[in-house]
């Protein structure tokens, strides 16, 4: 096992690993690509809208929560597929629960945008 890093070295390598993770998710998951494209379109709109700063933050948070949830769901799916490619009840439940988390985050984003913009 490599020695524990600290300070800026740890931050540097953590950033590299995080970028690798985003790249891996982007290249392997259509849902991640779709959500990043949606964010690329919606984030600039957040700054164009005539809303107060607290509403702007809520709009941004709702978008980022969807992406964060999708990344965590992707991690669960990749790990589950590594453990076993066989159909297993518990792996199926884990994947379904991850999918449900993404679904709930999407509902949260839609409700947040709907309340603020309507």
For 78, other C-beta atoms within 10 Å of its C-beta total 14
Whether 112 contacts 56, CB under 8 Å: no
Our separate counts of H helices and E strands in the chain read 4, 0
User: What angle do helix axes 7-28 and 30-48 make, rounded to 10 degrees?
Assistant: 110
Backbone angles phi, psi at 6, to 5 degrees: -145, 170
Assess whether 70 carries a catalytic annotation: yes
Whether 117 contacts 49, CB under 8 Å: yes
Among 35, 55, 70, 89, which one carries the catalytic annotation?
70
Mind telling me the catalytic residues?
70
């Amino acid at each position: 096992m490599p020695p524990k890093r600290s300070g800026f070295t740890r931050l540097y390598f953590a950033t590299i690993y995080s970028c690798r993770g985003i790249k891996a998710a982007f290249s392997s998951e259509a849902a991640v690509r779709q959500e990043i494209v949606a964010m690329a379109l919606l984030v600039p709109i957040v700054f164009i809208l005539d809303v107060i700063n607290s509403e702007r933050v809520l709009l941004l948070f709702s978008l980022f929560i969807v992406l964060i949830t999708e990344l965590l769901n992707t991690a669960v799916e990749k790990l589950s597929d590594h453990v076993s490619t066989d159909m297993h009840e518990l792996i199926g439940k884990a994947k379904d629960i991850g999918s449900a988390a993404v679904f709930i985050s999407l509902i949260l984003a839609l409700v947040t945008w709907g309340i603020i913009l309507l």
